[in-house]
Each structure stands twice: as C-alpha cells, then as structure tokens.
Amino acid sequence: MNTLITIVGPTAIGKTALSIQLAQHFKSDIISCDSRQFYKEMCIGTAVPDPDELAAATHHFIQNRSVFEDYNVGSFEKDALQKLDALFEKNPIQIMVGGSGLYVDAVVKGFDYFPDVDPKIREALTEELNSSGLSTLQHKLKELDPTTYQTIAIDNPHRVIRALEICIGTGLPYSSFINKDKKQRNFKTIKVGLTADREIIYDRINRRVDIMMENGLLEEAKALYPHKTLNALQTVGYRELFEYFDGNWELDFAVSEIKKNTRRFAKRQLTWFRRDQNTVWFDFQDDISIIISQVSELIK
C-alpha cells in the first residue's frame, strides 16, 4: 500500500535533516508542507533548506509561489495530493515534512468544511484589528473558542480573524468544525515526531534566530517591508522587524521578540501535533538507524 511518512515537530528541531535521511534511505521525494517555505521571496526567515540539502533529495513545494499570490491551505491540499498521486506511481513510499499543523492535516485527513458566513463579519473584524490591535481579537477568540486559541498561530491576524468569523457567523466554535468529515486517502500515513526537552528546543530556536540575523534576515525583511500587509508576511521573524522599520522598536528588542514569538510558536506546534495519539515520537538526537528500523516495521 502507498505510505506517506510525515515528519512533524517544533521549529528548529531538525525535521529537514531527518526528512533527507529518510528520503535517501527509501529513495523517495520530499513534500514540504511548511506554509511559509512556499514563498520564493522569503528564504532566510523561513529556514528554507540550503542548496546542499535541496540537492540531497528531490523537494516539492519549496519556494514555488510568490507572496503576491493568493495561496491557501485548500489550494495546497489539492496540489499536494496531485503531486503524491504522481510520486506514488514511481515509489509507494514518500516523505512529507513541515511544522504547519493545519497543512499536514489537510493532506493527511482532508480539509475541513466550514459554512459560508456573512463577509461583513470579516470586514468588521479587520476594522477592529486596525483600530484596536491584534490583542483585542485574541482575547475575543480566547473567550469564544479557547481550544482554537491554544492551537492556531495566535500571532497571525489572518488566522485569528478566520476563526473569529466562523465563531461569530455560526454561533459555534471554530474548533467544532475540525476533523468532522473524514476524507478517504489512497495512502496510509506514518507520523514521525521529533522533540526534545523544552530548554533544548528554546536554545536551538534562540541560536537559529542569531544565525538568521547573521545571514541577512534584516536585509531580506527590509526588501519585503513595502509589502508588509500581505498575508504571507504576517509571519514571525518578519513582523517584528517591520516594527523596527516602522520606528516602534529598537533592533535588539525586535530580535528578542522574534525569539520569544518563535518559542511560543514551537509550544503551539507541540500542542497541535501531540493531539494525534498515533504519532511515533523520537528524541532529536536518536540515531537514524533506530528511526529507520521502527518506521520500516510500521510500513510492513
């Protein structure tokens, strides 16, 4: 049977390296489901695999879109499934990797159905965002749907508004529509999770941000600054530097906020991925032979 090995875990834990090792072992391709690595204008701040990593295995959905395109999780679900159909014809084992839980679930389980709501609700929420700030909407979501508040990218205004418009428009929590209608897939999924002690994860995040800054993240963000309102740029690592360019923050403070918000994001990632009891978890330092052995047993 076709098998999709899906590698999940918090940011900076080593998912890319593991995906390449598994792809080389199983002679498979890699589907990226990192919702920010799609964009060709964002490279340093999204930790896109470097040229050597990209050459070590065939990757798909890496920097194949522009921030100026309207691309969402529903579009990705369709594109990824089409790509997997083609890849499975060559090899019944394929790899998917990424820290975007919603995008992982879209491919593995199917995109959730949400009823249509009055577009005026979104307009009103957008006005409230502009007038009162994101924290006001975050507080409202926490009251209406604490489950979603704990699991979505709460620092992403687009995600917060989307959840709120469903809550307000339907009178039901956004989370109540998640995973209701299961869609059949022509493959089975093996989820491999990478993790570490919290202090180690946080230290790896802090060091990664420092390396990003050394590698030119400030210049990359400055080039994107004129387009800062685009949805794709409502992203940790860019949003904080936009505050610096706006003159609201000192650079050192902006960098410290990137680290803090990335740590918060990693915590939400773990909360999301740990909901799936079928995920097989490994320590990020486990020997690759151990992981390959266990995954191979699950494939049988």
CB 279 within 8 A of CB 292: no
101 is in an annotated binding site: no
Q: Read out DSSP for the chain?
A: --EEEEEE-STTSSHHHHHHHHHHHHT--EEE--TTTTBTT--TTTTPPPHHHHHHS-EESSS-B-TTS---HHHHHHHHHHHHHHHHTT-SEEEEE-S-HHHHHHHHT-PPP-----HHHHHHHHHHHHHH-HHHHHHHHHHH-HHHHHHS-TT-HHHHHHHHHHHHHHSS-GGGGTT-SPPP-SSEEEEEEEE--HHHHHHHHHHHHHHHHHTTHHHHHHHHGGGTTSGGG-STTTHHHHHHHTTSS-HHHHHHHHHHHHHHHHHHHHHHHTT-TT-EEEETTS-HHHHHHHHHHHH-
**Count of Cβ atoms closer than 10 Å to residue 299 Cβ:** 14
> Contact 237/259 with Cβ under 8 angstroms?
no
Known binding residue 14? Answer is yes
Rg (CA), the chain: 19
Is 15 part of any known ligand binding site? yes
Q: Is residue 12 annotated as involved in ligand binding?
A: yes
Q: CA distances (Å), 133 to each of 20, 224, 270, in order? A: 41, 22, 27
What residues form the annotated binding site? Answer: 9-16
What residues form the annotated binding site for ATP? Answer: 9-16
What residues form the annotated binding site for substrate? Answer: 11-16
